[in-house]
Every structure is written in C-alpha cells, then in structure tokens.
Amino acid sequence: MIIGPPIGVLGGSFDPVHCGHLHIAKEAYNAAGLSEVRFVPLNLPAHKQSSATGTADKCAMLRAAMAPPFVLDLVEIERGGVSYTIDTLKQLRSTFPGRPLCLVLGKDAFIHLASWKDYLKLLDFCHLVVVSRAEVEAKIPDEVALIIKDIVVDESDDLHNNLSGKVFFVDAPLVEISSSSVREKLFKKQSIYGLVPDSVLDIINNKGLYRG
C-alpha cells in the first residue's frame, strides 16, 4: 500500500558537490512531484577512483549545499564497504516500505546502467527518473533499451501510483559541469565561481581542498 509521495534518491561521489548535481535534483523534484531528494554520497566507489579529499570534507560540503527539499542521507557511508546502488535501494525500501522510490539519474549514469551491479533488479525497488531526455535518447545502448521499452511513462502520476518499476524521462536543459572538471580547475588555480554553491566554495577555499 502506498502511503505517501515518491522519494527521490540521487547518489554519487559528490567530489565535490556542484551546481550540476543540484540542477538534476531540482528538475527531477519538480517534474516528478517528489516529496524530497535524498543525496546519498558513496563510501567506496565501484567504478572509479576517489580524490584525496576525505569523506568528512565531502560530507561537510554536501551539508552546506543542502536545503529543503534536498536532504543528506549517509546510508552508504554508514553501511561501509564498496557502495552499490542495489544494496542502498534495498535498504531504503526497508526504511520506507510504503513510499515509491525514484532513483534520479543524469544522462551519463543512465547510459552506463548496464555496468552496475544487479542492474536488472534495480526496477524491483525503484523507478528511474532520467534528466535530460534529448541527450539520452540518442545514446541508449541496446541492453538498456530492451529493459525499458515497455515501462517508460509520460505522466508523473505513474510514479505516485506504483512503488517501483517505471522509467520517467525529464526534458530539461543540460548543465555541463562535472566534479572532475571542478577539481581540475582548482588544481590549476582557476576560478570555479558559479560552478558550486557559494557555501561549498567557502569550505573549499577555507580548507584549501583540491589544490594539489
């Protein structure tokens, strides 16, 4: 039984969190009618190396960037070990048994979905809300297209009326910011003004993060 509106889940290394992350969360929140978006920083990445910046500093930057309806969820850090989205969704489903879960994805994450652990089981626990439709649709690999061909919905009501199992594309302008490009600019002592929230920039400057 569904007992409330969908909860958004946005995972990542957030190394550092930047305005592109907040843009994706905002577009998904508005288009899908989410109650909130939970930012879930990973503990240990499965697919790429982390920077030398510690977990405490990354979480401090995330906290500084959060304001309702965005909230910080440390479920992966508290669980420890390598972070896999499927494990997090199982845990969140246990925590919120009557709430639809919407995994919020940007285009790059969605296109590479087939490389994720147990990706075929993700939709047993959540909906997928994919931001930047036009950029995604031209590049969907066959293995992902086959999975979603009969479950793409055009109305957000379908996300509210089912606990999981649907894919919803959000038409939104693309914001081309990546954490790696932010780190590179900082390493080269270039300005990142406007790429991260001011509160995050203050922490980076005060602690001298990503300077090499």
Helices 55-65, 198-207: inter-axial angle, 10-degree rounding? 150
Q: Which phi and psi (to 5°) does residue 110 adopt? A: -65, -40
pLDDT band at 51 (very low <50, low <70, confident <90, very high): confident
Number of domains in the chain: 1
Does residue 41 lie within any of the structural domains?
Answer: yes
Does a structural domain hold residue 136?
yes
CATH number at residue 103: 3.40.50.620
Which residues touch 104 (CB under 8 Å, ≥6 apart)?
Answer: 8, 9, 10, 24, 25, 28, 37, 129, 131
Q: Is residue 197 part of a domain?
A: no
pLDDT band with cut points at 50, 70 and 90 for residue 178: very high
Let me know if residue 119 belongs to a domain: yes
Give the domain extent around 84: 7-175
Specify the pTM: 0.95
**Which pLDDT value is given to residue 193?**
96
Q: In which band, very low, low, confident or very high, does the pLDDT at 133 lie, cut at 50, 70 and 90?
A: low
Strand 101-105 and strand 127-131: the pairing is parallel
What's the rounded Cα separation, in Å, for the pair 164 and 103?
10
* Cβ pair 156, 96 in contact under 8 A: no
Q: What is the pLDDT of residue 46?
A: 77
pLDDT at res. 49: 66
